[in-house]
Amino acid sequence: MDTSLKGTLHKRGLRMTPQRQLVLDAVRDLGHATPEQVCTRVQATAPAVNITTVYRTLDLLEELGVVRHAHLGHGAPTYSEHQHRHVHLVCHRCGRVDEAPTELLSGVAERTQADLGFRLDATHVALSGTCADCAAEHDAGTPDHEHDENDAAARAVEGDR
């Protein structure tokens, strides 16, 4: 079967366009990207492409199963290739996104299935925490902040319970 984007589109009576190829390329290159980031990347090559088209194309590619999105914490969803399966580890201090193999959650998946009948989709998940660098900084006593997450407040009350 035809696995190319063009082929996938044609099967549905849809058309191949330069914009669609560029959006897909951008998603592939960027790894995890918000619609805005994808748009910027696309516009580096084709400045005329409108962000509306990016939104529409991302939706379409997702419907086709070519890309998927995950919610990595704050506002915007991020898109990545559907094939690119992994667990996201988002640092809520610096925003960095680490990746881990989906096997990381296989034990958890078994337990949610057994206990609650809940089938875990490991790839759509974003685990939140503090990355190695920020943890080191923090331990070294550098109390700097640059993000919106509530880790400071959380820690502050950690002892309350």
In eight-state DSSP terms, residue 158 is G
Q: Is 57 in the site for DNA (CB under 7 A)?
A: yes
Shortest gap between Cβ of 124 and DNA (angstroms)?
16
Judged by beta carbon distances under 5 to 8 A according to partner kind, the member of a copy of itself, DNA, none in contact with residue 64 is a copy of itself
Instruction: Supply angle C-alpha 142, 143, 148, rounded to 5.
Output: 135
Residues that contact DNA, how many (by CB under 7 A)? 28
Shortest gap between Cβ of 142 and a copy of itself (angstroms)?
16
Judged by beta carbon distances under 5 to 8 A according to partner kind, the member of DNA, a copy of itself, none in contact with residue 55 is DNA
Instruction: Supply angle C-alpha 69, 51, 146, rounded to 5.
Output: 60
First CA to last CA distance, the chain: 58
Among 49, 87, 89, 131, binds DNA (CB under 7 A): 49
At 124, which amino acid appears? Answer: H
Q: Is 140 in the site for DNA (CB under 7 A)?
A: no
Distances in Å between the Cα of 145 and the Cα atoms of 96, 126, 137 are 14, 21, 11
Contacts to DNA by CB under 7 A: 6, 9-10, 13-20, 34-36, 46, 48-53, 55-57, 59, 75-77
